Amino acid sequence: MKRILITGACGQIGSELTPALRECYGADNVIATDIADPPACLKEGGPFKIVDCTDINAIGWIVKKFQADTICHLAALLSAVAEDKPNLAWKVNMTGLYNVLEAAREYECSVFTPSSIGAFGPTTPHNKTPQDTIQRPTSMYGVTKVAGELLCDYYYKRFGVDTRGVRYPGIISNETVPSGGTTDYAVHIYYEAIKERKYTCFLKKGTFLDMMYMPDAIKAAIDVMEANPAKLIHRNAFNVTAMSFPPEMIAVEIKKYIPEFTMDYDVDPIRQAIADSWPNSMDDSAAREEWGWEHEYDLPKMTKDMIDVLTEKLRVKT
């Protein structure tokens, strides 16, 4: 039976991965942690503790006290905010991961931690980006993601810690709005389309990026953690993707449900430069071959679901 500790549980992924793990493994076996106060559903759905992963003693203490055997380490700063606050990004993304790996080594836990398309850079092949390829990112976020991938490989090889991970693309979801990321526009656009019938995009037309709907992102995390280790050639940082599109393609899909929707552009040079350095589309065949990764949602199916869910949710709120 697993005893899972989650860091960054109040973030975009954590707020949906936590209930999914509680459903799979039992609410009492999954402790959510964050530095932020949790929403009621996280607090009431199972154990919750305020824990700062940059504090090595706090992480070690909670792992020991909860008798965790698995850590899902999600606490991290996203790309745009990391560019704005590189010192803090290093502290949260690198010190936080190091502390988690040390606790995992001491208390014999396995670790799932996500990497990102941000681990690639301008010299990486942009189309069908291979699993193993050039990784010379030019953002602080990317630097921490590549270093994190390597650190996880190191802890596996050197200390036998069962580390696993995926390189997530932009994740689109309707529970918690992401902030500080480059792919956030692909979430904001749905909220604004429903509320305002218009959206101003901070990335320019033609900017292709890999994306994934949250239910697939949750499935990827659980499937890679459950994968048969004997079949894994890679361990950390599997490319996983579900779709690739530029902003104008989401707008076309949204217009099928909201015909009066319009989009214009006010490009943010920082986020545009980050997006331009990332792949247009990744090759995720290693994940498909080694642990049977399969996505369910493409752009039309996701758009229908996002519009249905958010129409209901935003109506309730107003």
How would you label 7-31 residue by residue, b for 16+ Cβ within 10 Å and e otherwise?
Answer: bbbbbbbbbbbbbbbbeebeeebbb
Q: Phi, psi at residue 166, to the nearest 5°?
A: -130, 155
The 8-class DSSP code of residue 10 comes to: T
Closest CA to 147 of 135, 159, 158: 135
Query: Does 152 engage in binding with ligand AKB (CB under 6 A)?
Result: no
Residue among 238, 180, 250, 237 at smallest CA distance from 209: 250
Among 78, 145, 68, CA closest to 113:
145
Rg value, the chain, Cα: 19
Regarding 165 and contact with ligand AKB (CB under 6 A), the answer is no
Site stretch for ligand AKB (CB under 6 A), options 14-22, 177-185, 192-200, 217-225: 177-185
Q: Which of 14, 38, 148, 170 binds ligand AKB (CB under 6 A)?
A: 170
DSSP 3-state assignment of 87? helix
Verify binding: residue 148, ligand AKB, rule CB under 6 A: no
Q: Can you tell me which of 11, 19, 96, 118 binds ligand AKB, judged by CB under 6 A? A: 118
Stretch in the footprint of ligand AKB (CB under 6 A) among 113-121, 129-137, 289-297, 301-309 = 113-121
* Residue number closest to ligand AKB, CB atom: 181
Separation of alpha carbons 257 and 225, rounded Å:
37
Q: Please, which residue, 148 or 170, has the CB nearer to ligand AKB?
A: 170
Query: Which residues participate in catalysis according to the annotation?
Result: 141
**Minimal distance, residue 241 CB to ligand AKB, in Å:** 11
**148 vs 181 by CB, closer to ligand AKB:** 181
We find the least distance from the C-beta atom of residue 116 to ligand AKB, in angstroms, to be 3
User: Which pairing describes strands 243-245 and 209-213: parallel, antiparallel, or unpaired?
Assistant: antiparallel
> Is residue 32 near ligand AKB by the rule CB under 6 A?
no
Single out the residue of 121, 165, 181, 279 in contact with ligand AKB (rule: CB under 6 A).
181
Mark the segment that binds ligand AKB (CB under 6 A) among 127-135, 153-161, 175-183, 299-307: 175-183
| Rounded Cα–Cα distance for residues 314 and 252 (Å) | 22
List residues near ligand AKB by CB under 6 A.
78-79, 116-118, 141, 170, 181-183
